[in-house]
Each structure stands twice: as C-alpha cells, then as structure tokens.
Amino acid sequence: LRIPTVAEAEAELDAARRAGGRFVGIGEADYPLLLKAMDNPPPLLAVKGEGAVFRLPAVAVVGARNASLAGVKMARMLAADLGRDGYAIVSGLARGIDTAAHQGSLSTGTIGVLAGGLDMPYPPENAALCIEIAERGGAVVSEMPFGWQPRAQDFPRRNRLVAGMALGLVVVEAAQRSGSLISARLAGEMGRLVFAVPGSPLDPRAAGSNGLLKDGATLVTEAADVSSAIAPLAGARVSRIAPLAEPPDLSAMPPPREDDRAGVLEALGPTPVAVDEVIRHTGLGAAQVSMVLLELDLAGRLERHAGGNVSLVS
C-alpha cells in the first residue's frame, strides 16, 4: 500500500462528485459506528446518500441469489417489519434475497454495500435500486475506488462490511456453499448475533441456512424473533464506541505537520492502544491525530483492532 498522490486523490474526489457521492473517513460523524470496532476497518468509505441512516441500530438480511418466491416474500416482510421497529437494514445489493431486503426497507432506511466502486453497481440491473436507496434516506457504500469492476475475490470483502455494520445477521435462504454462509461466519467471529430462517429439507437453497440452525443460530419466523434478541444490545454496543462529541472534519484539514506525525508515531507501538490515549499523550487535537492515523493506515503501517484500538504493524 502507498499514500496516493495529490493528483490521484483529486481524481477520486472528482469521481465522487460526478457520481453524487462523497468520502467519509473513519474519524467523521457519518462513519458507521460498528465498523470502528471491527478489526482493520476501512479508513475511507465512498458513500452516496444520507449519513443519518448509519446512526440507526442495524440488522443485516442476506441470502440466496436464486431465491424462492417464499424466500423473497420472507426477506421483504422481515426487512419491512424490522424497519418499522427502528432498525436500518444492511445487505449486499445482490439479486434475490438482498434485493428483496432493500426493497422492503426503502421507506425506513436501508444500507447497500457494493463489492465494486460506488459507480459500478452489481448486478447492473440494481443501478436503479441504488439510486432509489440514496434518494429515500438510505445509503450505498463501498470501500473500493471509483471505476473498480467487482471481481470474485471482492465479494467476501463486501460481506465483511455487511456483517460489520450490523448488530445481527439474518440468513433467509442459503445453499450449502453460499456466500451468505461466509457472511454468517464473519458475523459470528465479530460477536454479532446470527439468525436463520428455516426452509424445507428438500430444497437445496435452504441447506446452508438449516445447517446454521443446527450449529446454534437463532431460528426466525418473524421480525420479533430478531428484534427481541437485538433490542438489549442496540443501545449498549453503540454507546461503547460512540463518536467524539465534535467529530473531526478530515476533509477540511491541512496535511499534518512533520512534528505532529513524529508525536503520533512516538505514542504508537506494537501494542494496541486507544485513540483517546494517543490524543492525550501527544496533546494534539482529535482531527490532527485522525489525519496522521489515516495516513499511516493508507500506507499500510497501521493496524486497527477491536474496540477502536490501534497499533503499528510489526
């Protein structure tokens, strides 16, 4: 990894403006709160839409692309009911279950996560859905650069963000080797709750979700099964990683001074420390420290840990 040149950075900013989007840094108010607690969160997200949706407690709803009619109906119903309960719905904008989940929660707030650039929706037929999500109070996000065509290896990265943004993840339908099972595994590793909708043992599209239930996932037949389990966590988890009272606006900051960089580097080492400790140790402002950390992150010299702690790459 390397720090981009000024020309490259300006080209990305121009591309964002042309697409009607913007960049949100990890130190800014609109950065999704739960992502900050994830190991190695993306330092920048390309965002199109409203940042307010990121401040809602979120539930991910994912599943098969070649979903059954019953599965599509269930995903749409769950998303609509959870939205009315006050949850944002996160999904990956894929065909089938993902699309149904976004459609069911358009009026209450949904977050679509792309595997490619913000200007490269996949599948292409969901380009109109991306526009509608952004126009109706939701948001479409990507950690990839503009113009990036999604490759097979980019979808697990997308799944990681889907799982990381949510307090819990619901699998509606999934075959035995479905990418949705990757999302469920990632959610479990992050300490998120994992739910699954049961399906017919005769339908291969339900083999993976039924397997999750055998492994201990919570069975879901209605939205109340999800909201009753997540409600106690919705306030507690977000409060532990609440943003600063006055989040720094990184876009308006000048480049860090060399002595600022030196001070932050002196405060860091191979042992993870809280960003607040770095701020106290250096005496710098939160925005200045965030900018130096962002530079280190982009250069591949910084590692982010659970709870928002940081360390130098050893």
Query: pLDDT per residue over 63-84, tens digit each?
Result: 999 999 999 999 999 999 999 9
Report CA Rg, the chain. Answer: 20
Here the tokens at position 64 are 């098969």
Here the tokens at position 141 are 């996000």
Confidence of residue 303 (pLDDT cuts 50, 70, 90): confident
Higher-pLDDT residue of 234 and 207 is 207
CA distance 165 to 310: 19
Please count the residues of the chain: 314
Average per-residue pLDDT for the chain = 87
245 has a pLDDT exceeding 60: no
pLDDT of residue 40: 83
96 has a pLDDT exceeding 70: yes
CA distance 167 to 199: 23
Query: Contact, 180 vs 94, CB < 8 A?
Result: no
**Can you list the domains of the chain with their CATH numbers?**
51-240 (3.40.50.450), 249-314 (1.10.10.10)
pLDDT of residue 59: 97
pLDDT of residue 9: 78
Here the tokens at position 45 are 């997200």
Residue in 85, 83, 70 with CA at minimum distance from that of residue 209: 70
Question: What are the angstrom distances between the C-alpha of 206 and each of 44, 60, 80, 90, 127?
Answer: 36, 18, 22, 21, 28
